[in-house]
Chain A
Amino acid sequence: MLTKRIIPCLDVKDGRVVKGVNFVNLKDAGDPAEIASAYDMHGADEVVFLDITASADSRDTQLSWVRNVASALFIPFTVGGGIKTCDDFKAILREGADKISVNSAALMNPDLISDAAMKFGSQCVVVAIDAKKRDDGKGWTVFKNGGRVDMNMDAVEWAVKAEKLGAGEILLTSMDCDGTKAGYDIELTKIISESVSIPVIASGGAGECSHFYDAIEAGASAVLAASLFHYKELTIREVKEYLKERSVSVRL
């Protein structure tokens, strides 16, 4: 049976993992390759890297750490952040990344999704959506630029459009829940999962094992968390054992 995936997310800046990771003794706690390998050993099903480097001329640095990760990591990994063109896709995939996640660039130029899907296959095109509940409570609106700019666009409509254009997965982050540790946005996860036929990765809000379960019950194919794992508040194994006890199929 296909298992539900547990995915740690690492923020990378100038080729280094930021926000620290201290769940295991690392020689170099900032090295993306070493941290990712440790997560592989700990049972992660995939790893997502979000490159938050601000400067535009950081492409070489990015290619270099992606290359190092690909040499050390033998589970799939996704790279997101600052990817704007099909050439960017090509360069990063050539270094060994499995998937590319696009957010603002896809909002500004939806054709990027279809062009990349056509060239490299839908399986490597992840559309990341940062969604926030509307003030009037009627649905969710999509933000770009790391949650700074409201696109005033319905999240469900955008997810459906992204799938039509050729996205292979939706990485869905609830801006309301992110960082709260109070659980994923279940309503949002459910409505997006029901609206598209591609896998949805729930993100934002994980604080305890039951939150992962709730997101999966709501329809998520995978669940993503960052600090929870980095600071060893929970291990991936603990989460998986919890899920398994509740008859969720996981790789243990």
Chain B
Amino acid sequence: MIAIIDYDAGNVKSVEKAIEKLGAGHVLTSDPSVIAGADACILPGVGNFGDCMDKLRLRSLDSAIRDFVKTGKPFLGICVGLQLLFEESEESPGVSGLGILKGKIKRFPASFDLKVPQIGWNNVRSCKGKLFEGISDDTYFYFVHSYYLDSADPSIVSSKCEYGISFDSSVESGNVFATQFHPEKSSEAGLRVLSNFLKLSGEVQYAD
């Protein structure tokens, strides 16, 4: 059973639909005990960093997530769900993130040529690790974000992307996975990433 954390932030529905499409058992939940019992957990998210942290804390989901990660079971953060795993964000100065991983979330530099937010399909490079099995470098994924990850530990970065600057578009650290892009909105390639994640929990096998 995959727990998709529902904390009233953004579009959990599309993540749920993608998991459904891949045929994995899942539950949308904000109940820490349901999360604790899941085989894998997904933290989706669209929205403001501080706002999302508030919503997590309000439901005691911050500690539920930290506890879940400690069990060693697969965990996936998507978009703001990636950002929340880190220590802080320029979007919400003074707000602490979950701090499970080390690094900061920064705003794309203001530049005349660069539209912020980055909205659309961009190719990722230096892909490695379990999420990218069967996916080649330069594959396009769908991004929507104004802030990007600057990981303190480059060894956990599992793909890079260019938007004015080169930024960390996904990470893998033990059982903790996260993508800045939206796999649930990235057509075939995105479903493959999700399926690779679900495979780790023994939920589905990707049909090649």
Contacts and interface: CB of A to CB of B under 8 A. Distances in A.
A137 B11 CA distance: 43
B142 A76 contact: yes
Nearest to A93: B11
A74 B182 CA distance: 10
Interface of B: 10-11, 13-14, 17-18, 20-21, 46-48, 110, 115-123, 140, 142-146, 162-163, 182, 184-188, 190-191
Interface of A: 1-5, 40, 45, 70-71, 74-76, 93-98, 120-124, 168-169, 197-199, 221-222, 251
A45 B121 contact: yes
Given A98-B11, A123-B117, A74 B191 contact: yes
29 contacts: A2-B143, A2-B163, A3-B120, A3-B140, A40-B187, A70-B17, A71-B21, A74-B17, A74-B18, A74-B21, A74-B187, A74-B188, A74-B190, A76-B185, A93-B13, A94-B13, A96-B17, A98-B11, A98-B144, A120-B10, A120-B46, A123-B117, A168-B117, A198-B115, A198-B116, A199-B119, A222-B120, A251-B121, A251-B140
A251 B47 CA distance: 26
Contacts of A70: 13-14, 17
Contact of B14 (A40, A96, A198, A222): A96
Contact of B119 (A40, A97, A169): A169
Nearest to A96: B13
B13 A95 contact: yes
A71 B182 CA distance: 16
Given A2-B121, A2-B143, A74-B18, 6 more contacts: A4-B120, A5-B121, A75-B186, A96-B11, A123-B46, A123-B144
A70 B186 CA distance: 13
* SS class, residues of chain A in contact with chain B: loop
Contacts of B123: 1
A40, A74, A199 — most chain B CB neighbours (10 Å): A74
A76 B182 CA distance: 9
B121 A71 contact: no
B21 A121 contact: no
B115 A199 contact: yes
Nearest to A2: B122
A2 B161 CA distance: 9
Contacts of B47: 120-121
A168 B119 contact: yes
A71 B48 contact: no
B120 A2 contact: yes
B180 to A, nearest CB: 13
Contacts of B144: 76, 98, 123
A95 B123 CA distance: 28
Contacts of A199: 115, 119-120
Contact of B115 (A3, A94, A97, A221): A221
Contacts of A121: 10, 46-48
